[in-house]
């Protein structure tokens, strides 16, 4: 069995991003970048499936500028076997990512595709779903547990209001939620081994995918500063304030 996972290059979760002065986006110059944490969970899950003997190969893909190879290399240090890098400097939106991944699915024929449920930069939560639709594969999003048996994946999903367990036939697209696992730390020996693993490079043109943006960002604004709070004397006062001042109930 072959598993395809992704490693999107995003701003590190610990960085406090700042909005650019022209409101066109956030400033990512000289900012620490990392693998999207949800992708890291997806990679970890794939590696665990392989370690349990249920898969032979974990292939990791990343799309973007040259530096994305760093995230592929990190994923290889975490245990992935081989990398695929789609090089482009274009602004890549979820639909384009889904199309590029669809092209890679056609090329690699993976038996399972595990992606992060969302990336922590755009927070779009679209790529996995779009990929499943484009590739005509079943999908199980927001997974907190994956059990594989007999060409099926039984996935526990974290949904509004609780958990849901569904079974999908593989190949399938699964997106990883926070509680699926706790990613390991790359060990020094594995980091050295990652050096020898191969990374194939493609361009969107080579994959026959048009990545022209379909969406336009009008304006990016920072959230308004938090106001100082007040301590209320009792529940009545709280309810009164919520009703008459905040007007939320």
- List interacting residues with another protein (CB under 8 A): 34, 70, 73-74, 77, 184-192, 194-195
Structure tokens at 82: 């081989």
Q: Which is nearer to another protein, 194 or 209 (CB)?
A: 194
Reduced to 3 states (helix: H, G, I; strand: E, B; else coil), residue 215 is coil
Q: Which is nearer to another protein, 2 or 73 (CB)?
A: 73
Q: Which is nearer to another protein, 5 or 132 (CB)?
A: 5
Q: Which of 3, 2, 85, 72 is nearest to 40 (CA)?
A: 72
Closest distance between another protein and the C-beta of residue 94, in Å?
26
Structure tokens at 114: 């595990």
Contacts of residue 84, defined as CB under 8 A and 6 or more positions apart, other chains included, come to 59, 60, 61, 62, 72, 104, 108, 199, 200, 201, 202
Closest distance between another protein and the C-beta of residue 225, in Å?
13
Q: Which is nearer to another protein, 47 or 105 (CB)?
A: 47
Cα 134 to Cα 17, 99, 102, 178, distances in angstroms? 33, 7, 7, 25
Closest distance between another protein and the C-beta of residue 81, in Å?
16
Closest distance between another protein and the C-beta of residue 13, in Å?
10
């Amino acid at each position: 069995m072959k598993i395809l996972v992704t490693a999107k290059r995003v701003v590190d979760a610990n960085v406090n991003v700042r909005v650019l002065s022209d409101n066109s986006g956030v400033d990512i110059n000289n900012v620490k970048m990392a693998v999207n944490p949800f992708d890291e969970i997806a990679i970890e899950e794939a590696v665990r499936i392989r370690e349990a003997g249920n898969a032979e190969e974990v292939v990791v893909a990343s799309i973007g500028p040259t530096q994305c190879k760093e995230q592929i290399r990190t994923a290889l240090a975490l245990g992935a076997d081989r990398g695929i890098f789609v090089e482009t400097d274009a602004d890549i939106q979820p639909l384009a990512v889904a199309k590029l991944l669809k092209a890679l699915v056609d090329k690699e024929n993976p038996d399972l595709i595990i992606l992060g449920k969302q990336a922590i930069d755009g927070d779009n939560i679209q790529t996995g779903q779009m990929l499943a639709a484009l590739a005509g594969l079943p999908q199980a999003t927001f997974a907190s547990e994956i059990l594989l048996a007999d060409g099926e994946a039984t996935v526990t999903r974290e949904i509004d209001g609780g958990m849901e367990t569904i079974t999908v036939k593989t190949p399938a697209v699964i997106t990883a939620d926070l509680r699926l696992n706790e990613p390991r730390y790359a060990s020094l020996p594995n980091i050295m081994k990652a050096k020898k693993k191969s990374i194939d490079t493609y361009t969107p043109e080579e994959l026959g995918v048009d990545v022209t943006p379909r969406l336009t960002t009008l304006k990016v604004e920072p959230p308004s500063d938090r106001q100082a709070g007040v301590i209320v004397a009792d529940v009545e006062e709280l309810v009164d304030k919520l009703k008459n001042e905040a007007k939320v109930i």
